[in-house]
Chains A and B, each alone.
Chain A
């Protein structure tokens, strides 16, 4: 089967995010970048399907030069090849512009299944998977936690986490699936895997190679644009409730919750 995993490079979850004083962006100097954690589940799932049915796992990543590191991580995990979409024109786009760019690149790639993380942990948009599915006219299933491919490979049974329980549904293939924690345990790259990754095909495509115009991608091609970044609203300093043990502190807490916070 032909399996495509869309991958994004994002700041590590350990990172403290600092906003530039003029609000024009975030300060990127000290950021450490990693693969978006939700995308790792997609790579792992694709590798498991390949191990069972055979096929090719392709990583598709839109991102600047530094994203090569993330792509190599995916190749070291066991993906076969990668396509990187790198052009200054792609930067600053909303999910729709990003999905358009990815969809264009997918015209040159065969696929039975496309995986996207349920969201990227930097912009938290949770849109690209669905937008991509729409642009490719494919069905989508979001938030999958279990996946079984039918023997004829024409459909899949998918468990998805929804409010109040697990929904089990059948989806025709090809399809776009968005992945989240709980689907599997992503493997670590092995040392031989890391060595092999260096020799695996990595095709870098820019705007011209995709044949898109610069006003249809990135910030210029976006319909929802970030105008300003701000730090989170500050929280007023809290109170430590003093007292001799819970018999004293708890009634004080309950009184505060009732009278000051009006929460109970």
Chain B
């Protein structure tokens, strides 16, 4: 339908990801301005019960595609279902989370339906003609670009998690459920998931974490990251690392924050023993609040930090963890 805004609802472990609610909240405002409706697109197997929640966050309609071939994400199956839905319904705008899955899926769909796509946007809006506009970081955040789109529809953006505010859900709101016929042949899917090796711990991915506790060269060795884990446990945070710590073999590549690792935007980033090389700063400077703990008062990280403690992190961290535990116990 013309003027409609679509949000791809991403499901992980039976739950809808928070970025989906962030997109619905922003999408609702855009749909209202456009005089169109807001739809969520929900794919999976036995995920129908999640549709209700999408309504609470503002979706007028939920396109529900359920099929055993959609149980695990595959590029081929998901892009086929979504591209066919887009071709049949012609939305104006389609939004995805800029997650691992969203960044695999969105360019594939965009190329199939020949849509413009802006990746990892930190802001979206509408121009005077009601066309999508987007703001996105480039060079890992060393510069930003404003994006406009050609006149062809739909226009697409993937949205960085934690970048857009979530409106409170309205539990009286109900979305119209539209069941989608899924036609997938085994031949359509050219990748088969054979195994999934779960990472230890249940912490959110760095790119989606609300709080990150990160360690650098100043941690002095892999054994000391235990202190960061303890702090992270109290805060419900994810542990990251600088490139120096990863290159030293103290942490995995997947934990690296920075221009050649992950670009992160948590609400709170606590940098411990990280001096703040330009590549690292680029990768975390969109965090809402930054705390730096470093004994070198000249470290560049202090120029980005909202709050800094110039001290030995090995003395500061145990006290900080204790203080936060006390606070938590007090409720």
Contacts and interface: CB of A to CB of B under 8 A. Distances in A.
Given A143-B100, A249-B311, A182 B253 contact: yes
Interface string A147-181: 00000000001000111111111111001000011
Contact of B307 (A157, A168, A229, A257): A257
Nearest to A97: B116
16 contacts: A13-B279, A99-B111, A130-B75, A140-B104, A168-B195, A175-B190, A182-B254, A223-B115, A225-B150, A233-B144, A235-B290, A240-B308, A251-B323, A254-B323, A257-B291, A263-B268
B304 interface: yes
B75 A232 contact: no
B138 interface: yes
Interface of A: 11, 13-17, 19, 26, 37-38, 94-96, 99, 121-131, 133-135, 139-143, 145, 157, 161-172, 175, 180-182, 222-233, 235-236, 238-241, 245-247, 249-251, 253-254, 256-258, 261, 263-264
* Chain A contact residues, majority secondary structure: mixed
B216 interface: no
A224 B134 CA distance: 9
B289 A17 contact: no
A169 B145 contact: no
Interface of B: 12-13, 75-76, 79, 99-101, 103-104, 106-108, 110-112, 114-120, 134, 136-150, 152, 155, 190-199, 204-205, 208, 211, 235, 252-254, 256, 259-261, 263, 267-268, 278-279, 285-286, 288-292, 297, 302-311, 315-316, 319-320, 323-324, 327
B205 A164 contact: yes
A126 B119 contact: yes
Given A124-B137, A257-B268, A14 B278 contact: yes
Contacts of A145: 253
Contacts of B211: 263
Given A224-B118, A224-B147, A232-B141, 8 more contacts: A95-B117, A124-B120, A134-B107, A140-B75, A167-B193, A225-B150, A230-B145, A246-B315
Contact of A264 (B107, B116, B235, B279): B235
Nearest to B145: A226
A222 to B, nearest CB: 7
A166 B152 CA distance: 38
A254 B327 contact: yes
Contacts of A99: 111
B104 A229 contact: no
A171 B110 contact: no
B197 A166 contact: yes
A250 B316 contact: yes
Nearest to A132: B111
A241 B293 CA distance: 10
Contact of B289 (A122, A162, A226, A263): A263
A124 B146 contact: no
A161 to B, nearest CB: 5
A246 B320 contact: yes
Nearest to A121: B259
B138 A124 contact: yes
Contacts of B115: 223
Contact of B110 (A11, A131, A161, A257): A131
Contacts of A141: 75, 191
B156 to A, nearest CB: 8
A180 B323 CA distance: 39
A224 B155 contact: yes
Contacts of B327: 254, 258, 264
A227 B148 contact: yes
A190 B324 CA distance: 53
A240 B293 CA distance: 10
Given A96-B117, A139-B190, A126 B103 contact: yes
A131 B319 contact: no
Nearest to A164: B199
Contacts of B279: 13-14
Contacts of B79: 134
Given A139-B190, A164-B198, A245 B315 contact: yes
A226 B297 contact: no
Contacts of A164: 12-13, 198-199, 205
Contact of B108 (A134, A223, A249, A261): A134
A162 B308 CA distance: 33
A126 B101 CA distance: 12
B85 to A, nearest CB: 17
